[in-house]
Structure 1
């Protein structure tokens, strides 16, 4: 072989290597035509180098139309219509979990809408199908397209836009793809591509980049979690209440805008966000993608709690990684730091290992999955201020929530004379929804017993007044309040606002303000407490509370949703208010008298009589 032949072969070899290095350019040893039209498109990831494995099509055909005929999508091969052939062909374990995940099925949301709007029974989901309940029992979910009731209409025309079973591309700041791409290929505010592929740049509906977001950031979560409880807004210290498009800067809306023409202003952010933690640093993949079982409410799917990292009556629990196949090792391969065999991993409330929280050198450490930062978690077990007798019934966030978003009076109109977009059927059908609220506030917030039997923050859920206009413009329902537990009543729901502060609410503030106990804004007159936030549709039942005190008796007039949940009863209210007698002198939670149940008769002993009678 001559020197020229050697150089020629070497040049050809280097050229082949260069072609192989192009993103997504090969399949079965053949050079793909994809890169000829998309030469600067971003590589999805190191493990997703082949266009056709995800997108389908025939990369050997030069004709654009012919090569695209067999594509999945073609914009989004990760959509539920295609994910078994695309994402699921490699990630079947994850796909099986996502298919039963509440963010896909929305079974809990549909169920609660049915309850709010007096809908028929039965379990529905975004697309229907089979899964297993928390006890492992097989169940059949009917598709919500078959829910022939106003509750089904509300979901299809309102709520379905915010969940991963369907794409949402028309909402500024809240658009997202369907299926796996909703989280892993996030949209920007206008759902337009901003990457290097000139043929798609500036067009929609596309992800902002063709590169996969393996670990979604907080801004991805905020695409959906900015309505209803608004937890993504509260977590970041943003608030959309009572201002609409009121100008706040240079005569323009702002400083931050989000979906629905809402004008966001700043409040104190959650302490975890301020420290640099993202949503996924607390929430496990089983929270976000499901664990393979179908649940009927999000609080049943969620497996994390404050006590996991901070302790409570007992310190945080941990378990060592025993083998190389442990899920904590596998999941953490994509983190800034991978877990190792032998590490002591903190356990969730469901007794499963976190993949980024561990015990080392006598402390609990939380790894920022994306940032690589290590956050030291303070363990509060046994500290005086967390050992107050009776406070074992309190959720951590009942004292440590800075704010709780409360939307009072949701007036919803369903007008059958006008068309509305059905996002499940993907077509306009008769019936359009509109809504308005009476009032929004952040603080103070009411407390009640939640499904765990603990005292928790609650928020309206829901205070719906329904008006239905028929095709002939007659009104069949006028500000109607649906029945719940056999009677017409408004509802509150246990709720964690994700706006936590290091400093707890003061003892005197909580025990001295009946609003925290469920009386709302009020006046105290003699032995009675009367609410003052009155709606014309509920003149005798104030919107921002659920208790009244009349004639010395505590009465509840609104319900707390979820099993075993309820307002505080009369004895509990009196006990909470009686603490004020002690707080006059013993104002700190660290005071030793709070280590055991208070004895109010002590005020009659010789010491207290002398102190109380002193000038």
Structure 2
């Protein structure tokens, strides 16, 4: 083999060795991890998939919630009466559970082994001889005028719905007789835009359940001491704030005043309740259900709000009369809507050109009730908007009547005399004309009385069209 071939062969062997060495070193290295690649693709959803949620059975939910509701516990009266809350127990010395009041509401269950348990039948009455309730119709109740529940217990609301007055001729002021029967025609004493028929309201025919839903009746699973601290229907549930008319009342007072403080035409006040009658077994009724006034207080949110007042008397075993007055926030179903310029001016003037405020500023006194000795009855001289001043305990003047023939009317009641007749045969006399105990809950007095203006100044807010 010549030298040239040998040299080429050695060169080839050397190159082969270098290649093998290089490949061996490469195979010993750790392979690099793969690099992920993210591909984003927007997928348009063209169909909604409905989620089915089975609503709770109404009957089961009612059974679960009713025991803790205010209708179940009847806690409202007990809370206001309790001595620790400044209530009338301080005068009577009798615990609430010893009063017949506890036998009311859904806890009044006489069924064996269920005494004291809430019962549905307290409201869902299906007996034509139950307390008259035909004025209100709830959708789940019969259409034949039988009892409907709510107003059997809510007496002031029953008065709002059912009280009437003679219809008067607008020209002569004389009562108007029906041309067919000759009977004097009547019209509602207390009207409301939501429930009263035209022309007294909008003719909507609202009943309780149009505004008060299941949580107002069966509860919401929580316990409350009073209606005034529980969630409740609000005007703004239907009347959105942003859609309200831009009247001075809304623009000036929209943030510092409740709707009812202006729009409620009156409150129904029970005045002159003689607690001894109830303790003896009489139905609960006052000396008078007073309308034509409404009270202005400050609520817990610091807004001017609608208030009410209740006056009651208790007679001790020695015959001494003890007087009591409670003041609190309130809502009355007498909502009105001013239509004309004159209506709007009058509404503003009820606070800002007020005879009540004038009387208070001149005398320091606002007389809410007094005993008319000549007539032998109570009179209630002050009407309109009554602001509750800071010194209301000194400025408010009231009289307190007592029943003088409890035994007689109690026997008539036991004999089956209707309550209306029992009330008519009740004899009253003056118990006292000073207040022994004041109570104010869920409300505060005004720190100053409403600014007073001339009618011409108020009219300037409503230019004539």
TM range (shorter): 0.5 to 0.7
The structure in which a higher percent of residues are strand is 1
Which ranges of structure 2 fall in alignment gaps of 5 or more residues? 1-55, 111-116, 166-175, 197-203, 339-343, 373-379, 397-437
Tell me how far apart the structure 1 counterparts of residues 216 and 68 of structure 2 sit (CA, whole Å): 12
CA contact (8 A) 2:296 2:388 kept: no
Distance 1:453 1:150, change over 3 A: same
Which whole-Å CA distance do the structure 1 matches of 2:281 and 2:222 have between them?
A: 34
For 1:377-396, what aligned pairs fall within 5 Å after superposition? 379-380=243-244, 383-396=246-259
Within 5 Å, which residues of 2 pair with 1:247-262?
A: none
**Alpha-carbon contact 2:297-2:387 (below 8 Å) kept:** no
1:181 Cα deviation after fit? 2.6
Query: Match for 2:335 among 482, 493, 500?
Result: 500
Is 1:413–1:435's contact at 8 Å kept on the other side of the alignment? no
The range that moved more, 389-398 or 490-499, is 389-398
C-alpha distance in 2 between matches for 1:383 and 1:297? 35
Secondary structure of 1:442's match? Answer: strand
- Residues 293 and 588 of structure 1, relative CA distance in 2, 3 Å threshold: farther
Matches within 5 A, 1:78-97: 91-97=59-65
Aligned to 2:148: 220
Partner of residue 181, structure 1: 121
Distance 1:277 1:92, change over 3 A: same
Which whole-Å deviations, capped at 9, do the CAs of 1:585-611 have from their partners, x for residues lacking one?
Answer: 4416556xxxxxxxxxxxxxxxxxxxx
Greater Cα shift, 294-303 or 179-188 = 179-188
What are the Cα deviations for residues 495-546 of structure 1, in whole angstroms up to 9, with x where unaligned? 111111122662122222253x6xxxx846x843433445479xxxx99798
Between Structure 1 and Structure 2, the one with more helix by share is 2
Count of equivalent residues: 315
Secondary structure of the 1:92 match is helix
Aligned to 1:233: 159
> Does residue 453 of the first structure (1) align with residue 379 of the second (2)?
no
- Distance in structure 2 (CA, Å) of the matches to 1:153 and 1:239: 36
1:119 shift after superposition: 5.6
Q: Are the equivalent residues in 2 in contact too, given 1:393–1:453 (CA < 8 A)? A: yes
Larger radius of gyration: 2
Residue 351 of structure 2 aligns to a residue whose secondary structure is: helix
Query: Which residue of the other structure, out of 224, 242, 249, is the alignment partner of 1:295?
Result: 224
Deviation of 1:293 (Å)? 0.4
Match of 2:313 in 1: 465
Query: Match for residue 569 of structure 1?
Result: 447
Of 252, 258, 263, 1:400 maps to 263
User: Which residue matches 2:74?
Assistant: 106
Give the superposition deviation at 1:216: 8.4
Distance 1:387 1:98, change over 3 A: same
Match of 1:556 in 2: 392
Q: Deviations over 1:184-241 (max 9, x none)?
A: 343324479xxxxxxxxxxxxxx99xxx9736899624443442xx12431x35269x
Structure 1 residue aligned with 2:88: 117
Contact 1:459 1:493 survives alignment (8 Å): yes
1:217-274 per-position Cα deviation (integer Å, ceiling 9, x unaligned): 99624443442xx12431x35269xxxxxxx999xxx999xxxxxxx98314321113
- For residues 286 and 548 of structure 1, what CA distance do their matches in structure 2 show? 32
1:441 Cα deviation from its structure 2 partner: 2.5
Higher relative contact order (CA 8 A, sep 6+): 2
2:291 is aligned to 442
Q: How does 1:244-393 map to 2 (within 5 A)?
A: 266-274=188-196, 275-312=204-241, 315=242, 379-380=243-244, 383-393=246-256
Say whether the 8 Å CA contact 2:266–2:332 is kept in structure 1. yes
Partner of 1:410: 273
Aligned counterpart, 2:97: 152
User: 1:296 Cα deviation (Å)?
Assistant: 0.6
1:139 aligns with none
Show structure 1 runs of 5+ residues with no match: 1-87, 121-147, 169-176, 193-206, 241-247, 257-263, 316-378, 421-430, 483-489, 592-615
- Corresponding residue for 1:337? none
Distance 1:548 1:268, change over 3 A: closer
Residue by residue, what CA displacement relative to the aligned partner does 1:142-182 show, whole Å, maximum 9, x if unpaired? xxxxxx9353333xx24633x122269xxxxxxxx971233
Q: Is 1:510 aligned to 2:368, yes or no? A: no
2:323 alignment partner in structure 1: 481
Structure 1 residue matching 2:270: 3-state secondary structure: strand
Gap change, CA 1:586 and 1:447, over 3 Å in 2: closer
Deviation at 1:402, TM superposition (A): 2.1
Contact kept, 8 Å, 1:447 with 1:456, in 2: the verdict is yes
TM-score of the superposed pair, with normalisation by structure 1: 0.43
Give the Cα separation in 2 of the matches to 1:411 and 1:560. 17
What is the CA RMSD across the aligned residues, in angstroms? 4.5
- The answer on whether the counterparts of 2:81 and 2:88 sit within 8 Å (CA) in structure 1 is yes
